[in-house]
Structure 1
């Protein structure tokens, strides 16, 4: 029924992303880890979605990439994991790190994810080990190329670790004022550079 929603990012709250398109504001539940990847408020976004429908209502889940949505759906096939739990799992670990942990049978890494205990971790490994497609959409962190990919590349060219640069840019992008344009990008770059130079985002 729904594949993706494209429109203006009009708000964030908890794990909800609000996207306005055609006069309608959509309330989309996304992994909290991915919130900053959608860029600043007021910007244009593309969200890959999946609709949960049950007797009492509906809930729309969204993801920055089609691959992450596929991983979410794979998780819901594991006994004991529903859509809400799958979203919580993806809020606690990047898609690539989750794939690595599952393929390696690394229960210790899985147990560090909020809500995942030994039994559930074992079920996840049994159900998904070696069965997940490549979920690395960026070539580094299991995260898609963000709207700030040019800034990340510039920081990496300066000698900073690319994963640390991505983390610094994402953490600062969430607070960027809507409609800030090139001045906002320059300020974002400056703040990320300061964080990296001070040893943050490791």
Structure 2
């Protein structure tokens, strides 16, 4: 029924965004991972939507891109994962990171995601492994995140107040340099993320 809303963002809160479209202010439930993808309050934005309509309630969910909404809809295919659960998962981990974990079959990592226990983690792998894909659309924020295994570093730095586009550029530059260093390549993913995180902060300072 609703594909998207375009208007001025009037409020951004944990898992919630207000957007005004010609005098009508909408209240949308939005994954925390999508908040940084949306412009600051007072700026125009396009938010892709999904409407939940039952006998008991009506709720509108919002996403920064069609890709993010597709990930949400894929999560709804998993038995036991409802809209609120899908938002909780997407708030705790980026779509690119979730796809990476699923492709690796990392059950232990899935179990660490808030709201995902051992049983749900198994269902996520069974239902979505090899099926969760992000389209590479021109200008898509998700495309940039999906192309890098360091999207969590970008998300953390943006959360600290750094400009997202500048962070992405700096991360890409440093990764290109660091991957040629044997010591960096021999580290675990977590260690590489920590090194990159510290280096980007120094560069931006």
Q: TM-score, normalised by structure 2?
A: 0.72
Provide Cα deviations, 1:78-131, integer angstroms capped at 9, x if missing partner. Answer: 110001100100001110111111122111111121011111100110011111
Provide Cα deviations, 1:43-70, integer angstroms capped at 9, x if missing partner. Answer: 1111111000011221111111111101
Q: Distance in 1 between matches of 2:168 and 2:87?
A: 29
Q: Distance in 2 between matches of 1:154 and 1:101?
A: 24
More helix by share: 2
Equivalent residue number for residue 24 of structure 2: 24
Equivalent residue number for residue 193 of structure 2: none
- Structure 2, unaligned runs of 5 or more: 136-141, 177-198
Listed as ranges, the matches of 1:63-78 within 5 Å are 63-78=63-78
Listed as ranges, the matches of 1:183-202 within 5 Å are 196-197=201-202
Q: Structure 1 residues 46, 126: closer, same or farther in 2, change over 3 A?
A: same
Equivalent residue number for residue 14 of structure 1: 14
Name the SS for the 1:126 alignment partner: helix
Name the SS for the 2:37 alignment partner: helix
Q: Structure 1 residues 149, 117: closer, same or farther in 2, change over 3 A?
A: closer
Equivalent residue number for residue 127 of structure 1: 127
- Structure 1, unaligned runs of 5 or more: 163-193
Q: TM-score, normalised by structure 1?
A: 0.73
| Bigger relative contact order (CA 8 A; separation at least 6) | 1
Number of corresponding residues: 167
Does the CA contact (< 8 Å) of 1:160 and 1:196 recur in 2?
no
Alignment counterpart, residue 166 of structure 2, candidates 151, 160, 175: 151
Does the CA contact (< 8 Å) of 2:16 and 2:27 recur in 1?
yes
Equivalent residue number for residue 115 of structure 2: 115
Name the SS for the 2:89 alignment partner: helix
Equivalent residue number for residue 54 of structure 2: 54
Q: CA RMSD in A?
A: 3.0
Residue 150 (structure 1) shift: 4.6
Residue 156 (structure 1) shift: 4.8
